[in-house]
Amino acid sequence: MKSYVTPEYIVERDQDRCIRCKVCVNQCSYDTHYYDEEDDILHSRNENCVNCQRCATFCPTQAITIRENPNHYRSNANWTQEAITSIKKQAETGGVVLTGMGCDKPNLTYWDRLLLNASQVTNPSIDPLREAMELRTYIGSKPDKLELEMEEGNGVVLKTKLAPQLQLETPIMFSAMSYGSISLNVHKSLARAASEAGTFYNTGEGGLEKSLYKYGDHVIVQVASGRFGVHPDYLDAGAAIEIKIGQGAKPGIGGHLPGEKVSEEISRTRMIPLGTDALSPAPQHDIYSIEDLRQLIYALKEATDYTKPVFVKIAAVHNSAAIASGIVRAGADAVVLDGVRGGTGAAPRIIRDNVGIPIEMALAAVDQRLRDEGIRNQASVIAAGGIKSSADVLKAIALGADAVYIATAALVSLGCTVCQKCYTGKCPWGIATTDLWLTKRINPDIGAKRLAGLLRGWSLEIMEMMGGMGINAIESVRGNRLLLRGVGLTDKELEILGVRMVGE
């Protein structure tokens, strides 16, 4: 059957600049470029190009330009380029159109319609470069009150025993990305950067590779529906355990790591046979109702002797507030909410773009609901799903999050250009692949530095914004909706966010 789908991108090469070094040929993993020896000229197969920008970045003379194919179908607000192309692909394959990363459709981001405050006259701003600005955050269950005693000669002494807490030096953690969806070198980079920055990285559902156990104090191990690599040592290795019920990119469905991507290392770490598909079922088959969740949470706590906080991660959906309340009452130490913009290594595009709700709304609703029920202290709330800047982080905290998870942003700092082709396993940046030739392209030394740099840059920006508001401790931002104002939002949106209109 001849395909009626035309190339998405056109590669333009400035032949005057091109020095025939063939870096583009070497770097492209999609086999787009090729060298014609006879004519001593580089050519490109446009139909293979995915606009990952690897060749353009590495071309020493900036000779390459990737352009969106100007051959567009007639402009149509309903029958968009994407809609038409998807239909043709489905007709030709009878399959589900896959994609990677997070929902790219417009009008689903509220961060950009929320604005922060600054202090003037009635309250001095604080300069974080010179005065203390505290970002330290503790994730875990907190009591409503403490029993304390003043002891002769000893001062204040604590009588209450607190539930286990994670100590974060900055309220940003690396979100779950499984080993298998991304490479080991990226995991190494994440683990090292998290350790250096005093925060945490999440293993995702692919287990924890042996060489990373030494970073255990900065690792959150995930227990997902496939239970890959989950054994007692694994549970003991990390500082916290996260039960994955769902993720923002594909709420309600399972996952699939194709057999081709299950290399020897993956097989070992996930504890499944080489070359078999790694299937994550849609539900966790031992959680069909809220009491089952409670059972699993306590099973994990027992397995680790109550020394580690247990998180539960859900995708942000319509009844997130009620579910979150259930999760807290089931004994979780933290609720993780992953919004519609959350990323993935592979998901059906139709689900990624149409299922789930924006994190901002879910977060606001969950935080308020937990407060209304008087149980907000019992669990921390962590927000995730397309957080792209330090302002998003601070706004998330002001809406009520204790901390945020970032994943796409972390990968972008390592080189990712969000081309959305992760599911092919051919990531030329060496990130979303297990191909050993490609994974070499991430050097963990440099990767760790880049990730640490991202955390540092964002943390400094957060401190500046806080100082501008006359606040020197993150606890005073957390849940403080008065620091936000909405612009271009309806009354109802403002009501759910619990935020006033600009000008009010």
Partner 1 sequence: MKDLTKTNNPYGDEKVFDACSIFGMMNLKGERFSAKDPIRAIANMHDRGNGLGGGFAAYGIYPDYKDDYAFQIMYLDREAKKKTDRLLSECFNILSEEEMPTQEANVRDPPIMWRYFLQPKKSKTKSQADDDYILEKVMRINTETGKAFVFSSGKNMGVFKGVGFPEDVAEYFYLEEYKGYMWTCHGRFPTNTPGWWGGAHPFNILDWTVVHNGEISSYGINKRYLEMFGYKCTMQTDTEVMAYAFDLLMRRQGLSIEIVSKILAPPLWTEIKAMKPENELALRALRQTYGSLLMNGPFTIVVAHEGEMIGLTDRIKLRPLTAAEKGDYLFLSSEESAIRLVSPMLDRVWSPRGGEPVIGRLESRRAVEVIA
Partner 2 sequence: MVLEDAINNARKNLILKKNVALIDATGMYYRDLNSLLRSLDGNGIEKIEICNVYGQRYIGTDLDDHLSIDIYGTPGNDLGAFMKGVNITVHGNVQDGCGNTMDHGRIVVHGRAGDLVGHSMRGGKIFIRDDAGYRVGIHMKEYLGKRPAIVIGGTAQDFLGEYMAGGVLVVLGTNMKDGSCHDARFVGTGMHGGTMYIRGGVRHLGEEVEVKELNEADYRILGSLVDEFCSYYGLDAEKILESKFSKLVPVSSRPYGNLYAY
Tell me the Cα Rg of the chain.
24
444-503 residues in contact with partner 2 (CB under 8 A) are: 457, 460
Q: Quick one: the chain helix, strand, coil %, rounded to 5? A: 35, 20, 45
71's contact among partner 1, partner 2, none, with CB below 5 to 8 A by partner kind, is: none
Number of Cβ atoms within 10 Å of the Cβ of 439: 20
What tokens were used for 147?
């029993």
Give the number of residues written for the chain. Answer: 504
Beta carbons of 405 and 175 less than 8 angstroms apart? yes
If the CB atoms of residues 259 and 453 are measured against partner 2, the closer one turns out to be 453
Beta carbons of 420 and 99 less than 8 angstroms apart? yes
Residue 151 sits in the site that holds partner 2 (CB under 8 A): no
Residue 123 sits in the site that holds partner 2 (CB under 8 A): no
Neighbour-count burial for 398-425, b at 16+ CB within 10 Å, e otherwise: bbbbbbbbbbbbbbbbbbbbbbbbbbbb
Q: Which helix (H) or strand (E) is 241 found in, with range? A: strand 240-244
Residue 119 sits in the site that holds partner 1 (CB under 8 A): yes
443-482 residues in contact with partner 1 (CB under 8 A) are: 469-473, 475-482
Residue 371 sits in the site that holds partner 1 (CB under 8 A): yes
Give the nearest distance from C-beta 504 to partner 1 in angstroms.
7
Give the end-to-end CA distance of the chain in Å, rounded to a whole number.
61
If the CB atoms of residues 74 and 130 are measured against partner 2, the closer one turns out to be 130
Kindly report the backbone phi and psi dihedral angles of residue 74, in degrees, each rounded to the nearest multiple of 5, phi listed first. -55, 140
Residue 124 sits in the site that holds partner 2 (CB under 8 A): no
Q: Which DSSP category does 476 fall into? A: G
Give the nearest distance from C-beta 43 to partner 1 in angstroms.
60
d(CA 180, CA 153): 56
If the CB atoms of residues 371 and 456 are measured against partner 2, the closer one turns out to be 456
Give the residue, chosen from 1, 77, 132, 150, that forms a contact with partner 2 under the rule CB under 8 A. 132
If the CB atoms of residues 81 and 125 are measured against partner 1, the closer one turns out to be 125
289-308 residues in contact with partner 1 (CB under 8 A) are: none
- Residue 389's contacts (CB-CB under 8 Å, 6 or more residues apart) are 111, 458, 461
122's contact among partner 2, partner 1, none, with CB below 5 to 8 A by partner kind, is: partner 1
89's contact among partner 2, partner 1, none, with CB below 5 to 8 A by partner kind, is: none
129's contact among partner 1, partner 2, none, with CB below 5 to 8 A by partner kind, is: partner 2
Interface positions with partner 1 (CB under 8 A) = 119, 122-124, 126, 131-132, 134, 136, 138, 140, 142-146, 148, 150-151, 154-158, 160, 162, 165, 371, 374, 376-377, 469-473, 475-483, 500, 504
The footprint of partner 2 (CB under 8 A) covers 127, 129-132, 457, 460
